[in-house]
Structure 1
Amino acid sequence: MRTVLISGASRGLGAALAEAFSEDGDQVFAGERNPSGPSQMPLNVRSLASVDDAVRTVVRSAGGIDILINNAGTHLAGPLASLDQDRFKETLDVNLLGAWRLTKAALPHMRSGGTIAMISSLSGLVGLPEDGAYAASKFALEGMSQSLAAEVAPLGIRVLIFEPGRIATGFAGANDGADPAAVARQIVSIIDDENAPFRNPLCETGRTLFETVGIDNGARTEDLVRQVTGKDWRWQGHC
């Protein structure tokens, strides 16, 4: 039985992930800013105190963490020149720094062979009109994750990025698209695969984008990291 900590798990993809891991017999800690059920715990990724409290709760109960899923996110739409500065900062604070805060707190308690999963977006690969704030946060998340992967590989911990297409969760107004339960099951399956690549497109739109644009699944960047730093970010071990 693995210990899984998920942020942003009250609804949508986060809730579907919590259910999928639970169905596999894993011990799931579903973090949410405003928990509304007994299976959820308080976790506000914008607060260092909240992040630290959540990680302590998991460690007291389970002793360590096998899988960390940075899923909490927010969306801000609109032309870049018209955006409110505070709202732009909030988007970066949740989507980028929120993942950094939770990873920083959880990392000392992660077991060798564990996985840090970043829920990115196709907007982290292609910037579209009126999506600049969200794209900026996800492009930055992708870059941060590349550095993190090289840093934690010697510890026996791997980093995986997931780029979903449109999912019918209501997030960012998406009421159509892929079934969140099916997407969650796909993520669980990829995490279960010890040979999974660093970057993983989800849904048909994601796979089409990868093929059309020729996006690297991580292999080319991995080679560059190895050449520059001498470190190999390829995960070694068993989750």
Structure 2
Amino acid sequence: MISGASRGLGAALAAEYVARGDRVFCGIRSRDAEVPGTPVELDVTDNDSVRRAVAHVVQAEGAIDLLINNAGVHLAGPLLSLDLDAFKKTLDINLLGAWRLTRAAKPHLAQGSTVAMISSLSGLVGPPNDGAYATSKFALEGMSQSLAAELAPEAIRVLVFEPSAVATGFAGAMHGDPPALVASDIARLIASGKAPFRNPLGEVGRRVAAALHIDDGSRATALFESMAK
């Protein structure tokens, strides 16, 4: 099940998993959108919409093996000059949207399933004039790290992926990594079973993460375990 699957990286992820032979449910705002998989009406800011979408998938398949929280919006501009309502909307979709959908799907995630969060390099470093988006993605990373620790005893993985610029037009990015290549990398990492918690994508993403000495999650996990002893 993929949220925000009507275009961009979400559509590329849907196409990737359809090509792999999986049954893919594409969360979209309007049934009129053409998607590679099975369309499901989904507004991640609406609790009832989220519940209906998850119920539709579970009724059709019985469970969810992979949940990809991809729905997102971008808001640019100097942080202190942003419109408050627009800032709240960004957080509601990018952060709480993933929380709502994961919460609704959790009872239907079997052991060995995966929750994938599509973050961004802006979730690792806050660029100027990108504060709203960076805030939402930094918060998504923190929420996901707590969630990963909470769901690990149930053998449910939570993974975070940080693409750099993807050539989808999102946030004005007309140049960058091809969305099909990014989607393929994400699917490959998930299927490997060896992906760490945090996964920067592309040459730029890996270079930035290395320069910032970003923890892939292993140091935090070791810290959690030592504190629990």
TM-score by length of 1: 0.93
- Given residue 197 of structure 2, which amino acid in structure 1 is its aligned partner? F
Q: Counterpart of 2:16?
A: 20
Show the 5 A alignment for 1:18-167: 18-35=14-31, 36-37=33-34, 39-167=38-166
CA distance in 1, matches of 2:108, 2:227: 28
CA distance in 2, matches of 1:111, 1:163: 25
Q: Counterpart of 1:228?
A: 227
Which residue of 2, 26, 31 corresponds with 1:6?
Answer: 2
Identity %: 60
- Given residue 13 of structure 1, which amino acid in structure 2 is its aligned partner? L
CA distance in 1, matches of 2:115, 2:187: 12
- Given residue 28 of structure 2, which amino acid in structure 1 is its aligned partner? E
- Given residue 214 of structure 1, which amino acid in structure 2 is its aligned partner? H
CA distance in 2, matches of 1:227, 1:86: 42
The 3-state SS of whatever aligns with 1:89 is helix
Question: Aligned pairs, how many?
Answer: 226
Runs (4 or more) in structure 1 with deviation over 2 Å come to 227-230
Q: Retained in 2: the 8 A contact 1:48–1:101? A: yes
Q: CA RMSD in A?
A: 1.0
CA distance in 2, matches of 1:228, 1:174: 42
**C-alpha distance after superposition, 1:108-144 (max 9, x if no partner):** 0011100000000000000010100000000000000
The 3-state SS of whatever aligns with 2:215 is coil
Question: Which runs of 5 or more structure 2 residues have no equivalent in the other structure?
Answer: none
TM-score by length of 2: 0.97
| Cα distance, 1:229 vs structure 2 | 4.0
Q: Retained in 2: the 8 A contact 1:8–1:72? A: yes
- Given residue 45 of structure 1, which amino acid in structure 2 is its aligned partner? V
| Cα distance, 1:78 vs structure 2 | 0.3
